[in-house]
A and B are shown apart, each in its own frame.
Chain A
């Protein structure tokens, strides 16, 4: 197998859906009682038949998460560098056709945003941009990483997919993790939502984690955007992707995120709704499939939901996020990529965690080690 594309091509979307929907309560019980669970068990755990086992799944997921991660929660903050984008994505506020003022942060502005996040206590930062290769290509990203490198222990990016050599350059200069969501694993639906721009190339995006694995990145974040297609099938393919990557690039760490479609300027109604119980079921199912994968929740979710989900399997979260470039200090009113739901301050979130006997962890990496990486 040269990439995950070869694996995915062996699957049929409709048959996969049927297989998930036909799982029985007996399949769920069997999955719950195993020590090691397979992808077939995962199908049972995300199936409608598992709905009546939600509490049992949550109890188990909570216990396993505590065993592996302890009473801790990794904290990170996103920092949007640019909302320029040459893609058309039907669900995104940064979409090319959306007539909004565009802004890309200068060095000075980046440092101002950094100062704000550092004062809040953040030591892990996630840099986010749209896809505009001329303005926010690899040179811009490389400059930004080098500019802020000494300030953070852990720098991640969520930007357009890059070539392997480009990732190698960024890793060499201080990049720790890359988050790249497939949005949907359904080829035809993907095409509908990404009609123009480089992002319309499904395979190039699908093979991004392979390029990252080959480049020797420390962590890869995966996920699907819930709302574009059926969440169950998309989650199964995400899990399939995860298992393939873990076996192939075994030195790399993995995380899963759970973005649900949120309102934005010029919005798209979700085709498939994912309810709160659905999301809880999915988070627990991932934990039962894999004890070690990091599970991350953003401020897209509302307060009450986040207050409870931190006990059920989640291991990292953001707080007080702004999804517009310069949103913390420069241009608070500029257009957001999407609206956030939980607007509480970092201090309030940290307090909420402490009240639940969870320690917010601000530093869990040593940035000086990154460029030491001498292997792939």
Chain B
């Protein structure tokens, strides 16, 4: 029995691996990989699904009762568009959860901190559970927490790069200071990156490209599941301190106290 439950808003998660739906070679393979990963929260780009069509190819593959859908606002460029997109998602997918992504920069898809904060405040007031995708900016994380977001999702590296935890120093500060769950989003390219984020104390990780674009997405889904579990277990077990390379002084400096 897993007692290490992650709680975000009113939902509890056994799995701390969140996944995405983009870049798979088919929706069938996407479903298999997500099932293998045992992920319980799956983000789906509103712009990719046809919410008016109850036979939408992506959505019908995510019908499993275990899976919670997390619509994202990918494609919007400012707070106004984001709020509109969130409302559309709430109505169409019957969920008040929203992954808030505002990236006016279509090249690197880097999030706009100013518009994100603005939209988050408005969406929280309208009853949304807001999961904002942001830079690994400790101050912004606190500001988002203050306006009522239910978690923060700082990036490890630019989205889709698979470069891992390039923002490590800032993630450490964010995790240390946060009163809401911290989900490391974007940049995680290997199971060892995911394990490292979990060892650091992240509450969850979100992985898409690394699974979808691998040679075997199903096996990779399992590998990430195991890595996230291992990293979390290690964090809970409290890591042994890193041994300093310097040797202990042969003549201790405090021995005089006992002479």
Query: In the docked arrangement, what's the CA distance between A372 and B86, Å?
Result: 13
* Chain B proximity of A21: nearest CB distance (Å): 30
| Interface size counted on chain A using CB atoms at 8 A | 30
* Chain A proximity of B15: nearest CB distance (Å): 23
Query: Contacts A365-B47, A373-B81 known; A251 to B212 CB distance under 8 Å?
Result: no
* Chain B proximity of A349: nearest CB distance (Å): 15
Contact across chains for B105 and A250 when beta carbons are under 8 A apart = yes
Query: In the docked arrangement, what's the CA distance between A133 and B209, Å?
Result: 46
Contacts of B25 in A (CB 8 A): 70-72, 354, 357-359
Query: In the docked arrangement, what's the CA distance between A366 and B71, Å?
Result: 13
Overall SS of chain A's interface: loop
* Chain A proximity of B71: nearest CB distance (Å): 11
Contact across chains for A372 and B84 when beta carbons are under 8 A apart = yes
Contact across chains for A251 and B104 when beta carbons are under 8 A apart = yes
Contacts of B46 in A (CB 8 A): 366
Give B156-208 interface residues, CB cut-off 8 Å to A: 160-162
Pick out which of these stretches binds chain B: A61-69, A159-167, A190-198, A330-338: A61-69
Contacts of A354 in B (CB 8 A): 25-26
Which of A246, A365, A366 neighbours the largest number of chain B CB atoms within 10 Å of its CB?
Answer: A366
Query: Contacts A366-B75, A369-B84, A375-B77 known; A359 to B26 CB distance under 8 Å?
Result: yes
Contact across chains for B80 and A246 when beta carbons are under 8 A apart = no
Contact across chains for A292 and B107 when beta carbons are under 8 A apart = yes
CB-nearest residue of chain B to A366? B47
Contact across chains for B107 and A70 when beta carbons are under 8 A apart = no
Query: In the docked arrangement, what's the CA distance between A361 and B50, Å?
Result: 12
Contact across chains for B108 and A153 when beta carbons are under 8 A apart = no
Question: How many A-B contacts at CB < 8 Å in the complex?
Answer: 81
Contact across chains for B48 and A369 when beta carbons are under 8 A apart = no
* B27 interfacial contact with A, CB 8 Å: yes
Query: Contacts A153-B47, A359-B26, A375-B77 known; A369 to B105 CB distance under 8 Å?
Result: no
* Chain B proximity of A246: nearest CB distance (Å): 7
* Chain B proximity of A373: nearest CB distance (Å): 7
Give A243-296 interface residues, CB cut-off 8 Å to B: 246, 250-253, 292
* A374 interfacial contact with B, CB 8 Å: yes
Contact across chains for A251 and B47 when beta carbons are under 8 A apart = no
Contacts of A361 in B (CB 8 A): 48
Among candidates A123, A363, A373, residue contacting B77 with C-beta atoms closer than 8 Å: A373
Contact across chains for A368 and B106 when beta carbons are under 8 A apart = no
Contacts of B24 in A (CB 8 A): 70-72, 359
* Chain A proximity of B46: nearest CB distance (Å): 6
* A364 interfacial contact with B, CB 8 Å: yes
* Chain B proximity of A94: nearest CB distance (Å): 32
Query: In the docked arrangement, what's the CA distance between A252 and B23, Å?
Result: 22
Give A67-113 interface residues, CB cut-off 8 Å to B: 67-72
Query: Contacts A366-B85, A368-B84 known; A292 to B108 CB distance under 8 Å?
Result: yes
Contacts of B124 in A (CB 8 A): none
* Chain B proximity of A150: nearest CB distance (Å): 10
* Chain B proximity of A133: nearest CB distance (Å): 31
Contact flags A30-74 to B (C-beta < 8 A → 1, else 0): 000000000000000000000000000000000000111111100
Query: In the docked arrangement, what's the CA distance between A250 and B78, Å?
Result: 14
* Chain A proximity of B218: nearest CB distance (Å): 13
* B49 interfacial contact with A, CB 8 Å: yes
* Chain A proximity of B102: nearest CB distance (Å): 11
Contact across chains for A69 and B88 when beta carbons are under 8 A apart = no
Which of A66, A67, A250 neighbours the largest number of chain B CB atoms within 10 Å of its CB?
Answer: A67
* B141 interfacial contact with A, CB 8 Å: no
Contacts of B88 in A (CB 8 A): 366, 368
Query: In the docked arrangement, what's the CA distance between A250 and B104, Å?
Result: 8
* B22 interfacial contact with A, CB 8 Å: yes
Contacts of B70 in A (CB 8 A): none
Contact across chains for B23 and A69 when beta carbons are under 8 A apart = yes
Contacts of A66 in B (CB 8 A): 213
Among candidates A70, A153, A253, residue contacting B23 with C-beta atoms closer than 8 Å: A70
CB-nearest residue of chain A to B22? A70
Contacts of A366 in B (CB 8 A): 46-47, 75, 85, 88
Contact across chains for B23 and A71 when beta carbons are under 8 A apart = yes
CB-nearest residue of chain B to A356? B25
Query: In the docked arrangement, what's the CA distance between A67 and B161, Å?
Result: 7
Query: In the docked arrangement, what's the CA distance between A357 and B26, Å?
Result: 7
Among candidates A67, A246, A365, A375, residue contacting B78 with C-beta atoms closer than 8 Å: A375
* B151 interfacial contact with A, CB 8 Å: no
* B76 interfacial contact with A, CB 8 Å: yes
Contact across chains for B213 and A369 when beta carbons are under 8 A apart = no
CB-nearest residue of chain A to B83? A372
Beyond A250-B105, A373-B77, A375-B77: 19 further Cβ-contacts under 8 Å? A66-B213, A70-B22, A70-B23, A70-B25, A70-B209, A71-B24, A71-B25, A72-B22, A123-B50, A246-B107, A251-B105, A253-B106, A292-B107, A363-B47, A363-B48, A366-B47, A372-B81, A372-B84, A374-B81
Pairs A-B, 7 closest by C-beta atoms:
A70-B23, A71-B25, A357-B25, A253-B106, A251-B104, A366-B47, A292-B107
Could you list 30 examples of A-B contacts with CB < 8 Å? Answer: A66-B213, A67-B161, A67-B162, A67-B209, A68-B160, A70-B25, A71-B23, A71-B24, A71-B25, A71-B213, A72-B24, A123-B50, A250-B105, A250-B107, A251-B105, A252-B106, A253-B106, A357-B26, A358-B25, A359-B27, A363-B47, A363-B48, A363-B50, A366-B47, A366-B85, A366-B88, A368-B88, A369-B76, A369-B85, A372-B84
What residues of chain B have their CB less than 8 Å away from a CB belonging to chain A?
22-27, 46-50, 75-78, 80-81, 84-85, 88, 104-108, 160-162, 209, 212-213
